Amino acid sequence: MQYFTTASHDLAAAANLLRSGGVVAFPTETVYGLGANAFDAAAVARIFEAKARPTFDPLIVHLPHRNALEDVAEPLTEREAVVARAFWPGPLTLVLRKTARIPGIVTSGLDTVGVRVPAHGVAHELLRLAGVPLAAPSANPFGYLSPTHAEHVVRMLDGRIDGVVDGGATTFGIESTILMLEPEPVLLRHGAVPVEEIEAAIGPVARRTHAQAPAAPGQLEQHYSPSLPLRVVDFTEVPDEERAPAAALAFRDTPSGYAQARALSPRGDLREAAAHLFEVLHALDRSGCARIDVERVPDAGLGAAINDRLRRAAAR
Ligand code: TXA
Ligand code: MG
């Protein structure tokens, strides 16, 4: 696997690799993505292989800017245009009607395609240099903790992918919010844009983040899971003998009596908590403890996306 810095000659080399059918991980403002040319079905197939991802799980297509949309999606409706103008570039994925240029493997045969324009300098530059849209899921084995550092990608996917661009820690630390706007606005995945912000722009948005037959595997009950067993607890109710062998992940104040205890944000900031979530879970997963106990965070704003991931990480 080739390691690329963010120096311009390295980004140009990574872009060349992508253009010639390679699979390269790169940073975005949410998590690291595992990219391939979205127009190249064979390259996209290698993403599924590297992640051991089921082919019923469609990928998000990344664009350098809104103007590149016409190659991948049908023209936006009025409501879609309002949201795209308000939130792109940024951590919001819109599910749109796809064009014929997007191969079926990208969308798992759906006639819709998830699209976003990342707000991240390195992602933007790589997309611009590649000159093709990049299909990119999170750069982790399917179902496992998402990567927020290049080092997470190397540890999880070395030998399975062609390269990684190291852009340091990602900003938000959780994935994009996924939204479908037609025929009615529906939230498909909680993410880095709080749904309240979207509702402030367009009015009520229905929640469909727990579908029976998942339209988005961000909807699978078990997802984002560490290797260790993880449970969501109220720390005031965990007896001492259960604490000693376990690791604790708290929101603000670390509980006593655990083998290891970490706080997501001692000052109680949800943005900071989201940014640290996967990083701390990766570390605790390698702590040698028997289990990870986590507590929920306040459910408002980014808290909904954090709690959503904790719940699914705990599911077995
Ligand atoms: O922040 C993010 O969204 C990151 C970065 C790399 O952009 N990507 C990401 O991709 O989280 P992934 O594959 O881990 O999750 C993408 C989700 C999947 O659950 C997928 O099913 C859903 O997006 N999705 C993609 N296309 C869809 C479609 N046409 N309809 C419904 N859901 C779709
Ligand atoms: Mg993922």
> pTM here?
0.93
Distance of CA 13 to the CA centre of its chain: 25
| C-alpha–C-alpha distance, residues 156 and 174, integer Å | 18
In this structure, are residues 63 and 69 in contact, taking their beta carbons and an 8 Å threshold? yes
Q: Counting atoms of ligand 1 from 1, which one is nearest the CA of 60?
A: 25
| C-alpha–C-alpha distance, residues 194 and 91, integer Å | 10
In this structure, are residues 121 and 135 in contact, taking their beta carbons and an 8 Å threshold? no
The average pLDDT across 206-220 equals: 68
Helices (H) and strands (E) counted in the chain, each on its own, are 10, 15
pLDDT of amino acid 217: 56
Token readout for 125 is 């530059």
**Residue 214 in this model has a pLDDT that exceeds 70:** no
| C-alpha distance from residue 136 to each of 59, 68, 94, 188, 256 (Å) | 6, 16, 14, 18, 40
| Contacts for 112-115: CB closer than 8 Å, 24+ residues apart | 112/180, 113/58, 113/61, 113/72, 113/73, 114/58, 114/59, 114/60, 114/61, 114/178, 114/216, 115/60, 115/61, 115/62, 115/63, 115/69, 115/72, 115/73
Whether ligand 1 lies within 6 angstroms of the CB of 136 is answered as: yes
The average pLDDT across 283-293 equals: 97
Mutate to test the pocket of ligand 1, among 24, 94, 138, 278 (most ligand atoms within 8 A of CB): 138
Q: How many CB atoms lie within 10 A of CB 195?
A: 20
Q: How many CB atoms lie within 10 A of CB 267?
A: 8
pLDDT of amino acid 211: 62
* pLDDT (tens digit per residue) in 239-284: 999 999 999 999 999 999 999 999 999 999 999 999 999 999 999 9
| DSSP per-residue codes, 196-236 | HHHHHHHS--EE-TT-SS-SSGGGSSS-SB-SS-EEE--GG
What DSSP designation does 70 have? G
**255: preceding bond cis by omega (within 30 degrees):** no
**Residue 230 in this model has a pLDDT that exceeds 60:** yes
pLDDT of amino acid 75: 98
Helix (H, G, I), strand (E, B) or coil at 108: coil
pLDDT of amino acid 223: 87
What DSSP designation does 260 have? E
Whether ligand 1 lies within 6 angstroms of the CB of 114 is answered as: yes
Q: 290 C-alpha to center of ligand 2: Å? A: 25
Q: Counting atoms of ligand 1 from 1, which one is nearest the CA of 113?
A: 29
pLDDT of amino acid 221: 80
254: burial class by Cβ within 10 Å (0-12, 13-18, 19+)? Answer: middle
The average pLDDT across 30-52 equals: 97
**Residue nearest atom 3 in ligand 1 by C-alpha distance:** 176
